[in-house]
Structures are given as structure tokens and as C-alpha cells.
A and B are shown apart, each in its own frame.
Chain A
């Protein structure tokens, strides 16, 4: 089991550019989550999917953020246009049924200059 795989590990971009973060969940997991971690705000849930369907996107900061899950093995989080305040570590996590542990990827560290 390779675990949750995120790419890239690091992303440095300039303000105004489009950024796409990628996630491959663990095979067989029904839930997929996108979290953002910053020193100021801690861990924030952005959006989560169940069986590829977005269930709750109330944590998505604004329209510049969008997430998709076209199939059970792939999800993307896109920021367009990016801003310096989007700099953070973005984590993807997956899990099986309700109340089962979340398995986190190692994150993507995004820096927007």
C-alpha cells in the first residue's frame, strides 16, 4: 500500500498564476478530503468527497479555489488566480467508511510570491 500520494511536494509560483495540486487516494477508500495548514489558522477542511461526489465545500475560501474528483483514484485542487495569502501546506486524505481513520498524504507546500 503506497498510501495517499500527493504531487508536487513543493510548488513555488508567482501571484496570478494557476496552481494545480494532485492527489491519488488509497485504493478502495470512499472518502477524500482536502485540508490546508497554516500557522495562523491551523488545519482547515476545504472540501470533501464521498464516492467521487463533493459533499461539503463550505471550507473553500472563495471562487478562486475549485476541486474535482473525476474518478475514484484521482483528485485535483486548483487555485486560479493564486495569491500570496494562499501560501500554505495542502494535505489530501482518504478514508473508508464513517469513523474510520483518515490517511494523509505528505502534503504540498505551496509558496506564492
Chain B
């Protein structure tokens, strides 16, 4: 079955330090991977995606993600964390063949950035 896993329920980091939020995937065929962020009482917002091409993908708000095929990972990173980055982060994978935009989401990782 195609899925994504987020091994950490919560990540704590000090403001100004680099952050990493981990995601691993299991898919048949080429993976289509996404990161979304959710702020309290809001819907999810798109950050970035990997479809093909460069393994380092840049997205919104200074975030980037590195696709690693050998480790089946797609970790989210940011060089310098801000308190305002504190939110719930979801990794997602597109599932199904043909014309579809069906996404399956991981369980989410709560990022807490301390001032």
C-alpha cells in the first residue's frame, strides 16, 4: 500500500536554529510528494512539492525539502527557524494511477519553535 510516515509527533527547535521535519514514503512507481502546513483553526496550506527533477525543492516561507530516493525520504528543512513557523506539518503522497489528484497525508508533526 502507498503511504507516508512521519516518525516524530513533535519537533522542538530554538529560534534561529535549523529545523528538519522527517517524512518517509512507500509507493509503487514514481513518487509525487508534498508538504503542507496547518495553523490553529485553519485549513492546510501548500508549502512545496516534488514531482520530478532536482532533488532539492524550494517552497514557501523559506522552506525546502530534499528528495532521497535511496532512503525513500522527503524531509522538510529550513536553515533558520522562526517562532511564527510553529504549526502542524503534514507530508503527503499522491496515490493511484492515471488522472488523479488524490493525496494521502501522514499523521502530522507539530513544530514548536522557542524564542
Residues of A whose CB lies within 8 Å of any CB of B are: 4, 31, 33, 42-43, 45, 48, 50, 55-56, 91, 93, 95, 97-107
Contacts and interface: CB of A to CB of B under 8 A. Distances in A.
B32 A4 contact: no
Interface of B: 32, 34, 36, 41-46, 49, 51, 90, 94, 96, 99-108
26 contacts: A4-B43, A33-B103, A42-B106, A43-B90, A43-B108, A45-B102, A45-B103, A48-B102, A50-B99, A55-B100, A55-B102, A56-B102, A98-B99, A99-B32, A99-B51, A99-B101, A100-B101, A101-B34, A102-B36, A102-B46, A102-B103, A104-B44, A105-B43, A106-B41, A106-B42, A107-B42
A107 B100 contact: no
The CB with the most chain A CB atoms within 10 A, among B32, B99, B102, is that of B102
Contacts of A98: 94, 99-101
Contacts, number: 58
| 7 nearest A-B residue pairs (beta carbon) | A104-B43, A101-B46, A43-B105, A104-B44, A42-B107, A31-B101, A106-B43
Given A102-B44, A107-B42, 19 more contacts: A33-B103, A42-B105, A43-B44, A43-B90, A43-B108, A45-B102, A56-B96, A91-B43, A91-B44, A93-B43, A93-B44, A97-B101, A98-B101, A99-B49, A99-B101, A100-B101, A101-B49, A102-B103, A106-B42
Contacts of B101: 31, 48, 95, 97-100, 102
